[in-house]
Structure 1
Amino acid sequence: MGADLVADDLTIFMADGSTLLATAPSGAVSALELRGLGLARLKLVPHVALKAFVWLGASTARLPEPENVQVLGCAVPLLRHPATADLAAKLLIWLDSRTCERGRI
């Protein structure tokens, strides 16, 4: 389980049927700023199907009702969570659980 770099500050979205795709603009630098550590050179993934938007804000209910955002005619889950040290781990578990629910393991 892990993550790949698609884009950093600028991201282009496009619809492919009911799937929202994310890609970097042409000429994008294949690096990610790690605040306090410098730039990490990473290989860019050409595009990816977007699985969720994460709103880094105030906490919601302990077990919130599912929310979606409509972008270019595609429904994408909206997750609300404060920026905490364990957020990345929680998101990876959430993504893995979605795969299990759909029987793709």
Structure 2
Amino acid sequence: YDNGKYVNMNAEYEEGYMVFQTEHFSHYILTEETALEENVLLGDVNEDGNIDFLDAIKVLRYDGELVDLNDNQLLVADVNKDNSVDFLDAIMILRYDAELIEGF
């Protein structure tokens, strides 16, 4: 969804294709089953249910090697999806918090 939540579409791999049922046209991504838990907010790095400047601060502290992040936090912190958690993710989170962008 535009708000950063993911929904499990229960896709099945059949004859070289991922098959799932949908009722509307949209963009879809494939993730490993271990990637994000259901109903987890992309960008909610401090796991408080909100995406705000506190999440950006957590990312900056991680980028500055001041704190560690657990596996789930690392997954939700990579909001620009470049397989790296750094100040660029913090900037996107701040832009989202300031309502300059609608999602990640």
For Structure 1 versus Structure 2, the TM-score category normalised by the shorter chain is: under 0.3
> Which of structures 1 and 2 has the larger relative contact order (alpha carbons within 8 angstroms, sep 6+)?
2
Under a length normalisation based on structure 1, what TM-score does the superposition of the two structures give? Answer: 0.25
Under a length normalisation based on structure 2, what TM-score does the superposition of the two structures give? Answer: 0.26
Larger strand fraction of residues: 1
Larger helix fraction of residues: 2
